[in-house]
């Protein structure tokens, strides 16, 4: 199964449109969104093209393709307007023989580990910085941010299948990969 992973849209219709275009270009079976979907949060500036109502419409249009977890900027009212569930703190997926613990990162992270085992993948957004690190007991991955990337990283996403994880910018250009 091929899954596209994105995080931290923060209400940007401009970048949400690019993300959905990338999703179709990737021919992925699912889009996993790691939270912070509609609101920009008090610590972030407004992202380019901030229009949460448009983001709602775009994402509801592909609701059957979306798996999502709740971010620290997501609220109960957001669930009232989105037609796919976003209220879970994590989701567990299997890609090939790899177990992926997908979460936003504000609750479970490298300092507060969820119940994972050796060689499992801890996948979270929240920091807006793409990462891939073998932590010895587990693998840590972060897709970065769709709309508000930090530390000079690109506006981007990840694609994962049973053989590898690939980080790409929103134009689909690969800049990092991890082979399983």
Which CATH number do you get for residue 134?
Answer: 3.60.21.10
Radius of gyration of the chain (CA): 15
Instruction: Quick: pLDDT tens for 4-28.
Output: 999 999 999 999 999 999 999 999 9
The total number of structural domains in the chain stands at 1
Q: Are strands 66-68 and 174-179 parallel, antiparallel or unpaired?
A: unpaired
| Residue predicted with more confidence, 12 or 95 | 12
| Residue predicted with more confidence, 65 or 118 | 65
Full 3-state SS string of 60-84: HCCHHHEEECCCCCCCHHHHHHCCC
pTM: 0.97
Q: In terms of residue numbers, what domain contains 9?
A: 3-179
Residue-averaged pLDDT of the chain: 96
Q: What are the Cα distances from residue 159, in Å, to 2, 14, 77, 173?
A: 7, 21, 29, 12
């Amino acid at each position: 199964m091929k899954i596209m992973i994105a995080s931290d849209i923060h209400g940007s219709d401009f970048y949400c449109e690019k993300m959905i275009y990338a999703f179709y270009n990737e021919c992925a079976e699912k889009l996993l969104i790691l939270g912070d979907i509609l609101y920009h949060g008090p610590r972030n500036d407004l992202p380019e093209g901030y229009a949460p109502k448009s983001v709602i419409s775009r994402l509801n249009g592909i609701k059957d393709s979306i798996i999502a977890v709740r971010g620290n900027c997501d609220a109960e009212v957001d669930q009232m307007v989105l037609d796919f569930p976003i209220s879970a703190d994590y989701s567990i997926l299997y890609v090939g023989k790899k177990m992926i613990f997908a979460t936003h990162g504000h609750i479970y992270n490298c300092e507060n580990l969820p119940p994972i085992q050796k060689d499992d993948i801890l996948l979270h957004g929240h920091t807006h910085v793409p990462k891939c690190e073998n932590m010895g007991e587990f693998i840590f991955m972060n897709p970065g941010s769709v709309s508000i990337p930090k530390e000079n990283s690109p506006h981007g996403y990840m694609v994962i299948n049973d053989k590898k994880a690939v980080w790409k910018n929103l134009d689909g250009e690969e800049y990092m990969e991890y082979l399983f």
